[in-house]
Amino acid sequence: MRSQLPVVTALIVLAAAVGAVRGEEKPVPLKPGPGEDVVAANCNACHSLDYIRINTPFMTGKMWEAEVSKMISAFGATIEPADAKTITDYLSRNYGKPG
């Protein structure tokens, strides 16, 4: 039986490297405003806040509302209804286009 030590060692080195790279990720700043903390706490629980800025060029308030609803209904985000409203309002106000 061959030793598992080289495989285990390789996995440990790989895990350390991935952890180091992930540790260098800089936090994504959100625009300051009412609801910023609720957005950061809820949205960042599942994905990077970069997604907000990536979607900004084309999202209207209605689209942000649909997006938050999709995160809850399709992806199972555990967001309270009051927080969903706060998130939608914040995203619409700070990252939404008119329309």
Domain residue limits, the chain = 29-95
Which CATH architecture fits 29-95?
A: Orthogonal Bundle (1.10)
pLDDT tens by residue, 40-93: 999 999 999 998 988 888 899 999 999 999 999 999 999 999 999 999 999 999
Residue type, 96: G
Q: Which amino acid is at 85?
A: K
Distance between CA atoms of residues 50 and 52, nearest Å:
5
- Mapped onto helix, strand or coil, the DSSP state of residue 60 is strand
Instruction: Give the pLDDT confidence of 4-34 residue by residue, as tens digits.
Output: 656 666 657 666 665 555 556 677 789 999 9
Residues 6+ apart with CB under 8 A from 53: 28, 95
